[in-house]
Chain A
């Protein structure tokens, strides 16, 4: 029987909720594993889950320097979508979206995946053309997309400023109805528990400080809790990628670390039942189940490892939210924070075997890696288990930068802070 069910809730209620099993054991590191995953974020935990579930590899440890949920997996604005233009991207993100659709059942954990629709607004005829192009590319690949005109936008998001006086009047938008939001903490905890129940050791407060080499291969990791041997080591540390890979002797990667801020308002009555993105500036907004408006915008825009941002971005984001929804003008901001994002040189991810024998790399998620969590874990597990990429992540190799086969969705060039 499922561990979490109406029956188990009732049984545990009768015994005063004193006998729930912890969602994962506080595992101590063993001497050796088949696979060690560095980084207990969403991607590392999902990789461990799919290694066990899809490939029968259960002698696995996830090594996390802090606590589960302390990284970007618990810091993001929770938007899940697959509305990409480039085929390599939309096939991958669509597979991830399909995994999201069955995730709560797969993990026996309510990840609160809510397909409330993501609407990208357009404010100029050229933007409408670009939305039509992207929507058509998606539809040709079997992904849902709808181009909305001004009246349809007004009906879909009644609270938007649709007046003629708006600074950037809305012409229409591109809607993906199957896209939406999920509860980020639940995703981390759900994957952690599922991996734990497969036998995976989740080792918190354990920082990887170096790599063990043997006969020219990576053969394990050195950590603050001792050496851990492994046949294969997968690295999924988001914004810390360059620093962790440097410990393995990889001194340069097509990655820069930047900070992205997120914002939550005081809780309100239901006011916004979809995810809306502005087209005349960078802003995305939704409302959480607790009632807070959840929104974010651009990167602060310079290399940083500090998980905090600057005030000008706060002001910018608040003014864009006001331009879209003047009625939110008197809402108070409750919290804001920053997360360390792994910006790649072309804005697309890296899921690959290498760059050293015995080592596997998962990175380059920019500020869009939450939606990728199940798909990334699924593809990374495949790549680690079989020593070759799945069709879905073949294009996400490191050598694409040498071959001129970059995947630059935004056409922004090798300036990571512009992706």
Chain B
């Protein structure tokens, strides 16, 4: 598998570290325990399109939001997250 980093270009998967499901929203600190339980442990784990975080750890070290098909490994989009969120998307 290869991922196209918006900053560095197309690189092998071994340069990246996986950060997991990117659809999970962190609940407010005073949210009920069930919300936290859901955010920490409950996953959709779809076969098909999956939004997920990757860090280009052995490159520019940017965190990326990648949309990838979990059945075919085809990547639909890669975008920066954090302060530069959205840059380099699609």
The CA-CA distance from A303 to B46 in the complex, in Å, is 9
B34 interface neighbour in A254, A306, A402, Cβ under 8 Å: A402
Contact A252 B43 (CB under 8 A): yes
Chain A residues with a Cβ closer than 8 Å to the other chain, count: 23
Contact A310 B1 (CB under 8 A): yes
Give every chain A residue within 8 A of B73 (Cβ-Cβ).
Answer: 304, 306
Give every chain A residue within 8 A of B13 (Cβ-Cβ).
Answer: 310, 312
Contact B38 A252 (CB under 8 A): yes
Contact with B along A36-64 (1 / 0, CB 8 A): 00000000000000000000000000000
Main secondary structure of the interface of B (DSSP, over half): mixed
Contact A302 B52 (CB under 8 A): yes
Chain B residues with a Cβ closer than 8 Å to the other chain, count: 26
Contact with A along B43-76 (1 / 0, CB 8 A): 1111100101010000000000000001111000
CB distance from A322 to the nearest CB of B (A): 18
Contact B42 A414 (CB under 8 A): no
B20 within 8 A of A: yes
Main secondary structure of the interface of A (DSSP, over half): loop
Give every chain B residue within 8 A of A243 (Cβ-Cβ).
Answer: 45-47
The CA-CA distance from A268 to B21 in the complex, in Å, is 43
A301 within 8 A of B: yes
A305 interface neighbour in B34, B40, B44, B70, Cβ under 8 Å: B70
Contact with B along A221-252 (1 / 0, CB 8 A): 00000000000000000000011000000011
Give every chain A residue within 8 A of B18 (Cβ-Cβ).
Answer: 301-302, 417
Contact with A along B1-25 (1 / 0, CB 8 A): 1000000000011100010110000
A-B contacts, 6 listed (Cβ < 8 Å): A243-B45, A252-B42, A303-B20, A305-B70, A345-B41, A414-B41
The 8 A-B residue pairs with the shortest CB-CB distance, nearest first, are A242-B45, A252-B42, A312-B14, A401-B41, A254-B41, A305-B47, A302-B18, A345-B41
